[in-house]
Structure formats: structure tokens, C-alpha cells
A and B are shown apart, each in its own frame.
Chain A
Amino acid sequence: MVVGMKDALKLIGISIIACCAVFVCTLFLNYNIDITAMKNEITAAGGVEMYNAIVSTGKVVAAVSGGCLAVTSVIMLMFYVKNYIDTHGKELGILKALGYSDFKIAKHFWVFGLSVFVGCALGYAAAFLYLPSFYELQNAEHLFPEIKVQFHPFLAFLLVVVPAISFAALAVIYACFRLKTPVLDLLKEKREYKAKLSKKETKDMPFLKELTRSTVRGIKSLVFFIAFSAFCFSDMVQMSMSMKDLSSETMAIMIMMIGLILAFMTLFLSLSSVVKANTKTIAMMRVFGYQHSDCSKAVLGGYRPVSYIGFAVGTAYQYFLLRIMVDIVFADVENVPEYNFDFTACAISLVLFIITYELFMYIYSQRIKKLSIKSVMLE
């Protein structure tokens, strides 16, 4: 077998993201289905407006978080497949040289769909455990009659089975596409280095600067993940702080938790990949006498601007999202507090972000320091 269960386990990042996405979507969609069925029984004053607002919120939240997380998982999956093929070039190349067709090799990649399945199933189960409290929470003001939690098989199918199958298919198709590389390039582990700029520009660039640049440009998806991690952090933490006034505390905590899990997960995975992809370079630099701090700076430093951009985009994103919610979705509902950009929340999360980000960088630079030159060379 080309790709084993063990490899599927490594996709825990995707499992966690899938779990979060399905959790949020199940909560809101299940609730929406159940409350829509009771629409005619809503009689309390202001109840209909509240109903409309809640149903739209549910749709927006499910679409935004589900969509965002789905896109992330797709990119992450492609990254894993590509990375797997890149790092196992020799074995896969030999299989191809022996006459295995691309598809015959690629079809083993279906196991990656399992990770999505596990994540989705866990997310769905967790959501079901939490649904009763969620229903109470949504109806804190008792504007609606009491709603019972119903199980909707179609929703379960849509949120668990469909993603698992689509991701398995995607993994196989993408692997097939990636394996189209000529056998010799696979065997030589020849990667594409398209990042060549006009020669004039790089010619006089010092080595360390060039290394930083080529590290960042070498694996583009990592740039996305690191930016995304900062985006999640800034977006979700700030939103959660502002939401405390707009919505319930439980919602705020939930959003904060999901944001932190996503941010840490992706940052952890990306930085591990960065270090792994550069172990040989780092080892050679140490052999030649580059100090450990130079190596860390060159390999990790290039991502700092990326993550600050991610943070800024996240800040803007959460502001507009809340603005839209307050101005459009809740426009007809009374007693919605005024919403303005929350500078304190922004400042606090920026400080927290800088501290955690630099802490991560420090941990990984220590990891670089511990790389044994010899073990890298023995490989």
C-alpha cells in the first residue's frame, strides 16, 4: 500500500478543522430547520423580527464559517498530497518506473478522506450533545415556543458523508494530477523552482536574504496557512470580545475557542513543515559555521510580515462582518446595542497575538538549534 492509515493520521489538522466546521454548521442549521418548522406558532411581540434575524444569522454564520473552513481544508489537503508526493518521490518514482499507472498509485490517497470523515463525525456528535443548551440559549428571551431537538438524517448525510467522499475523491484526483510529473523528476526529487525573479533583482542579494525569500516563495501554501492562522486569531478573538455585548457569552466563548484552535493548529502545522522542509539547508549552514540565530532568522523570519498582514485582514474582516450583522440582519430588531469598531479589543488581541506568535517562533528556533547535523547527513 502506498499511503497507509498512519499517513491519514498526520492529517489531524484537517480533522480538527472539519470538526469545527461541522460543529458550527450543525448547530445553526439544525436549529434553523427546527425553528422554521415552528414559524407559525411564533406569536410573542417582536417574535417574528427576532425569528427573521435569527434565521438569517444562522445562514450567515453557517455559510461564512463553513465556507472558510471548507476552503482551508481543501487547500490543506492539496498541500498534504503535494507534500507527500514530494517527500516520497523516490518510492513513488520507482513504482511509476515499474509500470504502475498514475491512477493506480493515486487511488490509495483515498485514505485521506478518512481524516475528514473522522473530523466531521466528531463535530456532528459534539454538536448534538450541545444542541439542547444551544436551543435554550437562542431562546433566552422566550420569544418563541419551546423547540425540541430533532435529528435530520439528510443534514447528517450532508455534513458527514458528503464531505468525506468529496475529500477522498479530491485527494485521488489531485494526486493523479501531481503524479503526472515525469519519472526521472520524481526520482531526483526535483521540485519546481519557479520563483526566479528577473536576474537583475536577485543577483546582488545577500545569501541570507535570498534564503529568506526563497523559503517563503518555495512553498506558497505555507504562506497562506500562516496568514490564515493570524487571520483566524485576529478575526475570532476580536469578534468574540465584541460579541459579548451583541450576543451571549457562550457564543463569544465558542467563537474564541474555535478561533484559537484553528490559529494554533495551522501555525503549528505550518511551522513544523517549514522547519522540516529546510532541515538539510539548516544542517549545511551549521556545518559551514552559520550561527543558529542566523539560520532561524533566515528560515522563519520571512513569515513575520505575512502573519501581520493576516492579522490586519482579520481585523477588517470581523469589523465588516459585525457591521453587516448589526446594520442589515438585525436592522428590524429592537434593543440591539450600538456597534462601533472596538479599539480596546483590537489592541488586546494584537498584544496577545504578538506574544503567542513570537513564543511559537522561539519554540521553533529552539527546535532548529537542536537539529543534529549528523542525523541529517546520515539520511
Chain B
Amino acid sequence: MIAISEITKSYGNGDGKTQVLKGITMQINEGDFVVVLGASGSGKSTFLNVISGLERPDSGSVTYGSLEITKLSDSKLTRFRKDNIGFIFQQYYLLQNMTVEKNVRMGAELADNGDYREIITAVGLEDKSKKYPSELSGGEQQRVSVARALAKKPKVLFLDEPTGALDEETGRQVLDYICKLHKEYGFTIVMVTHNQNIAEMANTVVKMNSGKISEISVNKVRKTAYEIGW
């Protein structure tokens, strides 16, 4: 379980100081599928970066089980990410000078995962594994980044607008792969998006409004990637 307590975060100083997170408290259960919704600039990405240990909050705490990650040193925090966290970003951030296979291997080696080829197959890229990212379409690149994140067998997967740069069809396809793998491996998902429809795929929907949580709801019925609107 991830316990998030009273986190605040601001950028800049003096007159230019803006408070982005204004005291956020919530809990995320193991295996849950959480979608964070909110307008642009409401602090979703910042929230995601703080709870995943990429950034430190100004105050408040984030605790995984009994481990308070906000208290860890930099190298311990890195180690924590290595053992627990996977990331998928809107811009993919693949390593341009390496093939698909090597990109996935970057994740796999952190978990001593020898079966990374299985995951390349699972996202339907086995025939592209020798290609470089610049030779792939956006959807294919995002699938590489899904494979890279899952190859390290994360306990929690964080996604920041994973379909933001994709069209409807490839967007659904990527979400479908993510859902399937979620069922299979049972990790926790926290996904940030401003597409309201995607929220229907989640268990828990968190709405953010200028740095605060305005509503948390639970979906009784979950839709698949091909049932939601776009």
C-alpha cells in the first residue's frame, strides 16, 4: 500500500513562487488501477513525480508499505526505484542510439530478468526488435517503452499521459496491452491523463484541481480499452 500524507510542493521563490501541490493525502492499494484526472497545469505530473520518488516534496511523506521514501538518501531512493518502480511517459524517452531489444534490456537488467524477449512479444514487437526507435511509429515506440518499463518487473507502474501523443487506434492498442499485462502480473498502476474516457478503465479515479484532490471515486464496472469512448 502507498500512503501519501499531506504533501506540498512549490516551484520558484519570492514573488514567482507557485504552490503546485497544496497538501495531498490519499492511499493507493496494492494491485489497484488508479487514474488521475485534471486540467492542464493542475499538478498531475508533479504529483506523479513526487509519489514515484523522482522528486522530493517540500513537506509531507510518501510511504510504501513501511518504507518512507521521502526520508531516503539519493542513492537509496535510486535503489528503491530500481527495485519497485516502472515509468512510461508521453514522449517515450527511448534511447535513440539503441535497438528496441537493447532499450528493453535496459529495464530487464535492473531486475536480472532474462525473459525480456517474452515481453517484446507480448507487446507485439518481436519482428521489430532489431530496429532503432527512429524507424518506428509513435505507437510502436510507446509499446517499446511499455515493454521497457515492464521488463524490470515493477511493483508499481507510473504512466504520465501515455497516449497523449497517439491517435485513437494506437492509443487504444497501447492501453489494451497495458491492461492485459496488468491482469497478468498484478502490479499497481497510477496513470495521469486528461482524457476523461480513459478513467472508465480504472478502479479508482482521482480528480485534481489546482494542486488539490477534489474527488476520489471508485468504478463499479470497468470498461476495456475498446469499450471506452475517445
Contacts and interface: CB of A to CB of B under 8 A. Distances in A.
Tell which of B79, B86, B107, B134 has the most Cβ of chain A within 10 Å: B134
Given A280-B93, A288-B110, A290-B110, A373 B78 contact: no
Nearest to B82: A289
A287 B97 contact: no
Interface stretch (A59-67, A207-215, A258-266, A343-351): A207-215
B177 to A, nearest CB: 19
B98 interface: yes
Contacts of B152: 288-289
A195 B82 CA distance: 29
Interface string A273-300: 0000000110111111111100000000
A281 B110 contact: no
B97 A288 contact: no
Given A207-B105, A210-B102, A284-B95, A289 B89 contact: no
Contact of A190 (B79, B110, B134): B134
Contact of A291 (B49, B78, B130): B78
Tell which of B79, B85, B86, B102 has the most Cβ of chain A within 10 Å: B102
B101 to A, nearest CB: 8
Given A288-B152, A289-B110, A374-B49, A188 B134 contact: yes
Contacts of A199: 130
Interface string B21-44: 000000000000000000000000
Given A210-B102, A287-B87, A193 B132 contact: yes
A292 B110 CA distance: 14
Contact of A377 (B80, B86, B93, B98): B93
Contact of A288 (B74, B91, B107, B134): B107
Interface in A182-227: 188-191, 193, 195, 199, 202, 206-208, 210-211, 214, 218
A292 B78 contact: yes
Tell which of A190, A193, A280, A289 has the most Cβ of chain B within 10 Å: A289
Nearest to A203: B101
B87 A288 contact: yes
Interface string B67-98: 00000001100111111011101010101111
- In terms of DSSP, what is the predominant structure of the interface of chain A? helix
Given A206-B109, A285-B106, A288-B106, A191 B97 contact: yes
Tell which of A214, A284, A285, A288 has the most Cβ of chain B within 10 Å: A288
B97 A193 contact: yes
B126 interface: no
Given A207-B105, A211-B98, A374 B54 contact: yes
Contacts of B89: 377
A374 B160 CA distance: 13
Contacts of B169: none
Interface string A219-251: 000000000000000000000000000000000
B106 A207 contact: yes
Contact of A281 (B78, B85, B95): B95
A284 B96 CA distance: 12
Nearest to B104: A207
Interface in A40-55: none
A10 to B, nearest CB: 23
A8 to B, nearest CB: 28
B81 A291 contact: no
Contact of B79 (A210, A285, A289): A289
Nearest to B101: A203
B55 interface: yes
Contacts of A289: 78-83, 85, 110, 152
A267 to B, nearest CB: 23
Tell which of A195, A211, A283 has the most Cβ of chain B within 10 Å: A211
Given A288-B152, A290-B82, A208 B95 contact: no
Contacts of A193: 96-97, 132
B78 A290 contact: yes
B86 to A, nearest CB: 8
A374 B81 contact: no
24 contacts: A189-B96, A191-B97, A193-B96, A193-B97, A195-B97, A202-B102, A206-B105, A207-B102, A214-B98, A280-B95, A281-B95, A284-B106, A287-B54, A287-B93, A288-B82, A288-B87, A288-B107, A289-B78, A289-B81, A289-B83, A289-B85, A289-B152, A374-B55, A377-B89
Given A280-B93, A289-B85, A377-B89, 20 more contacts: A189-B96, A206-B109, A207-B108, A207-B109, A210-B102, A210-B105, A211-B98, A214-B97, A214-B98, A218-B97, A281-B95, A284-B95, A285-B106, A288-B81, A288-B106, A289-B81, A290-B78, A290-B110, A291-B78, A374-B54
Interface of B: 49, 54-55, 74-75, 78-83, 85-87, 89, 91, 93, 95-98, 102, 105-110, 130, 132, 134, 152
What 6 A-B pairs have minimum CB-CB distances, sorted nearest first?
A: A289-B82, A289-B81, A190-B134, A207-B105, A207-B106, A207-B109
